[in-house]
C-alpha cells in the first residue's frame, strides 16, 4: 500500500458537511428569536438527515424589506448545503420555516427560500475546506 496521502481521502471529506441558512425578515421576533433559530436548525436536520452539530442558522429580523412592492410581513432566506438539496428536502424546510414564522404574522405566500447545493471545496471550516 502506498504511503501517498493523495490516495486516501482527507478526514474532512468524509464529514457530513455544512447546511446553513441565513434568513432576513421585517418581522420583529423579539425574545423568541433564539427559539426560532433553534426550531429552524431542527427542521433542517430533520429534512436533510444531517447532524444538527453541523447546522448553522442566522436571522436578521426587524429589517427593511419589501416583497411584492409592500412592506407587509415577509422573509427571504438562502440555504446552502453540501448535498441534501432536493425537491423533497427543500419543501420540508420551506414548510417548517414558514410554520415557525406564521405566528408572527407571516403569510405563507410572502417568503422565498433559495436553495444552493455547494461543492465540498467551496465550504470552509476549521482552517480547511470540506474537500480537504
As a whole number of angstroms, the distance between CA 97 and CA 44 comes to 9
Cα dihedral across residues 26, 37, 51, 14: positive or negative:
positive
Strands (E), 47-110: 56-60, 75-81
Catalytic residue among 19, 51, 103, 119: 19
Whether 11 is a known active-site residue: answer: no
Strands 111-117 and 75-81: parallel
Asked if 104 and 73 touch (Cβ cutoff 8 Å), the reply is yes
Give catalytic residue positions: 19
Amino acid at each position: 500500500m502506498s504511503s501517498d496521502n493523495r490516495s486516501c481521502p482527507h478526514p474532512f471529506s468524509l464529514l457530513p458537511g455544512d447546511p446553513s441558512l441565513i434568513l432576513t425578515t421585517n418581522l420583529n421576533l423579539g425574545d423568541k428569536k433564539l427559539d426560532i433559530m433553534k426550531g429552524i436548525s431542527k427542521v433542517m436536520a430533520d429534512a436533510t438527515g444531517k447532524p444538527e452539530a453541523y447546522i448553522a442558522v442566522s436571522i436578521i429580523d426587524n429589517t427593511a424589506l419589501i416583497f411584492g412592492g409592500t412592506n407587509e410581513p415577509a422573509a427571504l432566506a438562502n440555504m446552502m448545503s453540501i448535498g441534501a438539496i432536493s425537491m423533497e428536502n427543500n419543501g420540508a424546510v420551506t414548510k417548517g420555516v414558514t410554520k415557525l414564522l406564521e405566528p408572527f404574522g407571516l403569510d405563507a405566500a410572502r417568503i422565498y427560500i433559495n436553495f444552493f447545493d455547494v461543492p465540498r471545496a467551496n465550504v470552509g471550516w476549521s482552517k480547511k475546506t470540506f474537500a480537504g
